[in-house]
Amino acid sequence: MQSDTIQQPLSIPLESGDTTIQLTHIVISPTQIRLQLNESNPDSVLPFAKYNLMIDGKVLTGYAEILPDTHGDTARSFTLIFERPQGIEISNRTTLILRAQHGIASHHGEHLSVTLPDITAQHKSLHTMINGLPVKWTYYRQDGHLYVQTESNDPHFGGISQTSMMQNGEQILGQPLTTNAVGDGNNTSIEVYRQFTDSSAVVDILFYTEEKPDQTVDVTIPLSASNSTQP
């Protein structure tokens, strides 16, 4: 019922001194706890891969839901959802701590490109550096299509999520053939450019991610004195 639900606005940075990622709202119902997270980077996928909520020592594991785009090109919003077990009482005296783990940073690949020479049916590889991280490119033509695979042995490289190239003055996007979960440790991606006949290609990197697998951030969430709810 509505009387059993707490709703409270928040203005808490996820990381001390960094206002680009903020907790902006909390809703506590008898069955769920929902935290809204706003990030000023509109290209962000998720700022962290794992979220736990500690309630007076009890640990709840959460998941993230990306909200519909309501900020245009200026920000992204996420809801962190935690199922609330029976028997957990929450009041203004309750200690709530959000723990975010495995940092994710999303980047535009502005001015980053790689030239793929001598494209044939034979698999060829070359190595580049993206923001100081090593990336291996493997490419080949098959059935008239160009396949481009990227990967890195550095766990801090999250992967390339989109590339493109210019053909006859038009930007052509690579078609992704792989889908990786954020923070799953797999940074291999494969894209295909269909009906590709040239012997070389300049591939532009549109988006890529970096990861901080060891990063952990704890944020205490205060509740106002008027709030109190029991299961």
Q: What is the CATH number of domain 2-106+214-229?
A: 2.60.40
Type of residue at 42: P
**pTM score over 0.95:** no
Q: What is the pLDDT of residue 217?
A: 94
Identify the pLDDT of residue 41: 72
Q: What are the start-end ranges of the E strands in the chain?
A: 6-15, 18-28, 32-39, 48-55, 58-66, 76-83, 90-91, 96-108, 113-116, 124-130, 133-142, 145-151, 157-167, 170-173, 175-176, 189-193, 201-221, 228-229
Q: Determine the pLDDT at residue 68.
A: 63
Long-range contacts, 179-182 (Cβ 8 Å, 24+): 182/45, 182/46, 182/49, 182/104, 182/158, 182/209
Nearest partner of 33 among 7, 56, 15, judged by Cα? 7
Amino acid at position 96, single letter: L
- SS3 sequence of 60-127: EEEEEEECCCCCCCCCEEEEEEEECCCCCCEECCCCEEEEEEEEEEEEECCCCEEEECCCCCCCEEEE
How many residues comprise the chain? 231
Output the pLDDT for position 19: 66
Instruction: Name residue 216's beta-bridge partners.
Output: 101
Q: What residue has token string 């695979």?
A: 149
Distance CA 189, CA 170 (A): 23
3-state secondary structure (DSSP) of residue 3: helix
In this prediction, the residues of the chain whose per-residue pLDDT falls under 70 are 1-3, 16-17, 19, 42-43, 67-75, 225-231
pLDDT computed for residue 74 by the predictor? 57
Distance CA 173, CA 46 (A): 23
- Domain regions of the chain by residue span: 2-106+214-229, 108-213
* Cβ atoms of residues 109 and 208 within 8 Å: yes
Please give the structure tokens belonging to residue 139: 């490419």
| pLDDT tens digits for range 102-141 | 999 888 887 899 999 999 999 999 999 999 999 999 999 9
Q: Which structure tokens are listed for 97?
A: 């701590």
CB 135 within 8 A of CB 141: no
